[in-house]
Structure 1
Amino acid sequence: MTLFPLPRRARSMALALLACLAAVSGAQARCLTDCRPRVGIVSAFGAEADILVSETRSRRTHVINGKRFTTGTLRGNPVVIVLSGVSIVNATMVTQQMLDHFRVERLVMSGIAGGVNPANHVGDVTVPDRWAMPMEVFWNADAKLPAPCGATGDLACLGLQLATGPDGKPLPPFTLSTPHGPVETGLFMRKNYVLNAANAPAGGFMFDYPVDAEMLAVARDLQPVLERCGPKAKRADGSTDASMCVKQQPRLLVGGRGVSAPVFLANAQYRAYLHEVLQAQTFEMETAALAHVAHANGVPYIAFRSLSDLAGGEGFDADVGALFASGLAEVNEAAVTLAFLDAWRLHKQRQPGAKR
């Protein structure tokens, strides 16, 4: 018996509050701001994020620590959209903020990247099946395998592991060619330590972060309309300014490895090294960080990246200028993201038990 019995309505409100608090404390209820299940979309490029937000219905803006999160419905999917800003650090911070404040069931990264595979072209949109961070490194004095813990290649005493190839051997370090001969940089790629509910308390090491197989399967069937000329290529008289069009018809490229690092890559030799050693397709500064946060939180993810240039390419060629000046970069990237959301909605509707 309580000293101060609560009225029936107050008791009901108190029980509801306790239930809410219990839900928030649960593993699946990361929703300090909004608890509706959503697809979280993180964009690194402002103009493209603007396109996605403009297409969103029933928009509502939430400002969290200065960041603008937009909730609503995009192509039939409940979504929350945010602009991360450039860099590994910003992508990490914003993605975790999103997962803490909203109930995000799937993550989508959407933006622009530099090409690594020279066979691809400016304007192509890539959908890698895994992402890695090649500049998480052990910087040795030379090209010899480091041995700080005694055995060659053993970094366990430092809480580190070297990245390895399919043969189980450490990946080779980057060597820089100069007019005076090769320079051994001693940059050995290493894995990242990650702790989550599935591998606690020991945690584990990862180099590649696979994208979600279900989302990737949907992406493989996409047939988005990709343009050669951006909207600004149209003149007032209806004609097209050819200087604002890329030479090759852009394609959707699904598969391969994407890589992210806290640098803007303008070194052709390092780009060639990434392609030779990792068979990397694209290089940018955000997605692998989002992938790490997604893995740590148990949230499936995928990423769409349009190619703005050949990372470390010599010169700013006409295709690169056309991509950005005409608005083609953001239009094609948004087209793939929207096509995926359309297909994802239909995919979910076909699942057993889905509401029709």
Structure 2
Amino acid sequence: MLGIIGAMDVEVNSIKSELENVEIKNIAAMDFYKGTLAGKEVVVVKCGVGKVNAAICAQILVSVFGVSALVNTGVAGSLNNDINICDIVVSTSALEHDMDVTALGYAKGVIPDMDQSEFKADENLIKLAKDSAEEAGLDVKIFEGKVVSGDRFIGTHEAKVYLRDTFNGDCAEMEGASIAHTAYLNKTPYVVIRAISDKADGGAQMDYPTFEAKAAENSIKLINCMIKNY
């Protein structure tokens, strides 16, 4: 059973509307929609914005609902000049870019006392996502890449260059790496799928509201195919 997490209504509402035999559980102020889509059991939830909300949500999906895999869907800002608005990034790994314990001698992004801080996505889920994108017939490019997450909207050229140069990130958002972190600790497969809503630079604040809905729509089409093929 897949657990599908989106931060905002626009990222999950259309998936929830297609579910059958729906049961809703409210836990930690989040509504978890458990139902079937194309005969497959799934739990869909809006976690809210930010790493803490996302991590709590992911843990509930694992501990309460016993999902077999976690999928994070939504939008992101591009850090890679080859990845344009409405293109889709399927995560190869995810890292928390705002983890900074350099004062104690750690490199930026390193989480103390953990054996890794960059969490690799599940190869089977990556393949499923890419195959599902092809099946969905999306008129955009599909990239594999590194997702970097932090509790900060990236909207300046300087911030974009920093994340690209420091972490080699391909897109930036605010939840994926904390879901990956939770998945790693629970030995649960995960993948992050992000459609690009802006270029994470000086025009991001203008691009984001313009392209958010279209980008989310592409991501949702891909997710629907993933559920059917899982």
Could you say whether these structures have the same fold, taking a TM-score greater than 0.5 normalized by the shorter chain as the test? yes
* Alignment of 1:127 onto 2:90: yes
Distance 1:117 1:76 in 2: 37
2:155·2:205 contact (CA, 8 Å) conserved in 1?
no
Query: Could you say which residue in structure 1 is the equivalent of 2:130?
Result: 220
Distance 1:299 1:75 in 2: 23
Query: Could you say which residue in structure 2 is the equivalent of 1:304?
Result: 193
* Alignment of 1:339 onto 2:229: no
Report the Cα offset of residue 275 of structure 1.
1.7
Report the Cα offset of residue 330 of structure 1.
2.4
Query: Could you say which residue in structure 2 is the equivalent of 1:98?
Result: 61
- Segment drifting more, 215-224 vs 281-290: 215-224
* Alignment of 1:51 onto 2:51: no
SS of residue paired to 1:328: helix
Query: Could you say which residue in structure 1 is the equivalent of 2:155?
Result: 266
SS of residue paired to 1:204: coil
TM-aligned CA distance change 1:218 to 1:98, over 3 Å: closer
Distance 2:188 2:208 in 1: 34
Query: Could you say which residue in structure 2 is the equivalent of 1:209?
Result: 119
Q: What is the count of residue pairs matched by the alignment?
A: 228
Deviations 1:47-72 (A, max 9, x none): 22111101111111111233211101
Report the Cα offset of residue 126 of structure 1.
0.9
* Alpha-carbon RMSD: 1.9
Query: Could you say which residue in structure 1 is the equivalent of 2:211?
Result: 323
Residue identity in the other structure for 2:166: V
1:128·1:281 contact (CA, 8 Å) conserved in 2?
no
* Structure that is richer in helix per residue: 2
SS of residue paired to 1:51: helix
2:55·2:182 contact (CA, 8 Å) conserved in 1?
yes
Q: Structure 2: which 5+ residue stretches go unaligned?
A: none
Distance 2:125 2:204 in 1: 36
Residue identity in the other structure for 1:109: N
Residue identity in the other structure for 2:70: L
Report the Cα offset of residue 107 of structure 1.
0.7
Distance 1:341 1:65 in 2: 25
* Alignment of 1:191 onto 2:76: no
Pick one of 44, 68, 77 that aligns with 1:81: 44
TM-aligned CA distance change 1:283 to 1:315, over 3 Å: closer
Query: Could you say which residue in structure 2 is the equivalent of 1:257?
Result: 146
Max radius of gyration: which structure? 1
The aligned runs of 1:24-63 (5 Å cut-off) are 38-63=1-26
Query: Could you say which residue in structure 2 is the equivalent of 1:109?
Result: 72
Pick one of 257, 275, 295 that aligns with 2:184: 295
Distance 1:210 1:79 in 2: 23
Deviations 1:31-61 (A, max 9, x none): xxxxxxx211111121221111011111111
Report the Cα offset of residue 320 of structure 1.
4.5
Q: Structure 1: which 5+ residue stretches go unaligned?
A: 1-37, 141-147, 149-154, 156-161, 164-188, 194-202, 227-248, 345-356
Distance 2:109 2:75 in 1: 25
TM-score (norm 2): 0.91
